[in-house]
Amino acid sequence: MIKQWKIFLTAVMYFTRIRVPQNIGHDPEHLNKAATYFPLVGGIVGGISALAFLVFSRLISTDIGILSSMIAGLLVTGAFHEDGFADVCDGFGGGWTKEKILLIMKDSRVGAFGVIGLIAMLGSKFLLLRELPSFTPELNGSPRLLFFNYRYFIGAVITAHTLSRLMPVVALQWTDNVTDPEHSKSKPITDRRLPLPALLMAILFGVLPLAFFPWPFWLVILPAAYATFEMTKYFKKWIGGYTGDCMGAIQQVTEIAIYLGWIIVWRYT
């Protein structure tokens, strides 16, 4: 249990800006196994984002609450996944060979494709999140009902963060990392496929929030899984595998897919 706790804290240290005890270092063994807790870390990020929405939507407005939720997620993760998504937009938008794509993605500067991609991604998140409170009863009673009244919004946000972080873990099981180890910030943690028990644990963490909601909401797994499959196939076609930036892009796109799926399920079931 102590070892697993250290592996979990390694994942927290690697994927967020949350401070961990100083004795948690960069043990290669812990780094290689930290992907197991990727979805659980997503649950923490999602919980913080949902809390920011609840606070600021009650104090100011729903739109400010949604904006605060998005900013909270960016601050907690250091825009780790958004950075990868922007690099993928630049690399695959501006490169026509494997070598050129990888070279562009290594560049720390953000190009036109990356900027356009980020605007589209953040704008889509805001608009989809803006739809979610419309399904939630207005809070007219005791403030103690806050979490209950907004339970579907909270569930959507936490599910999107856990499940979207499970998808890269699943994707890296059937393709190879093509990054140069000397220039990769994520290769140590995405270079090895997880053993079956660790993969099953990651899946459990990824889908756990859905256990608290009616069964139709489990359908949001389908668009997330399909987007993951298509993106992984696309990356494999062009560069022969994946990079850490590709995994970040999968997380961002599947998060959008989950929000969209959640809204569709709510409206039509």
User: Residue 146 pLDDT more than 70?
Assistant: no
Is residue 118 included in any domain, yes or no? yes
Is residue 223 included in any domain, yes or no? yes
Is residue 209 included in any domain, yes or no? yes
Could you read off the pLDDT of 93-110 as tens digits, one per residue? 988 889 999 999 988 888
Range 119-126, long-range pairs (CB < 8 A, 24+ positions): 121/82, 121/85, 121/252, 121/256, 122/70, 122/82, 124/256, 125/70, 125/255, 125/256, 125/259, 126/66, 126/67, 126/70
DSSP assignment letter at 214:
-
Is residue 205 included in any domain, yes or no? yes
Model pLDDT, residue 139: 46
Q: Is 177 helix (H, G, I), strand (E, B) or coil?
A: strand
Report how many domains make up the chain: 1
Q: Facing residues of 177 across strands?
A: 242
Could you read off the pLDDT of 166-206 as tens digits, one per residue? 999 999 888 888 876 555 555 555 556 788 888 999 999 99
pTM of the model: 0.90
Identify which of 85, 142, 137 has the alpha carbon closest to the alpha carbon of residue 114: 85
Is residue 18 included in any domain, yes or no? no
Is residue 21 included in any domain, yes or no? no
Segment among 36-40, 104-108, 246-250 with least mean pLDDT: 104-108
In terms of residue numbers, what domain contains 6?
2-13+26-268
How would residue 225 be classed by pLDDT, with cut points 50, 70 and 90? very high
Model pLDDT, residue 192: 64
Q: What distance in Å separates the CA atoms of residue 149 and residue 230, rounded to the nearest whole number?
A: 36
Q: What distance in Å separates the CA atoms of residue 129 and residue 118, rounded to the nearest whole number?
A: 16
What percent of the chain shows pLDDT beyond 90? 58
How would residue 56 be classed by pLDDT, with cut points 50, 70 and 90? very high
Could you read off the pLDDT of 62-92 as tens digits, one per residue? 899 999 999 999 999 999 999 999 999 999 9
Is residue 90 included in any domain, yes or no? yes
Return the structure tokens found at 2.
């102590």
Is residue 20 included in any domain, yes or no? no
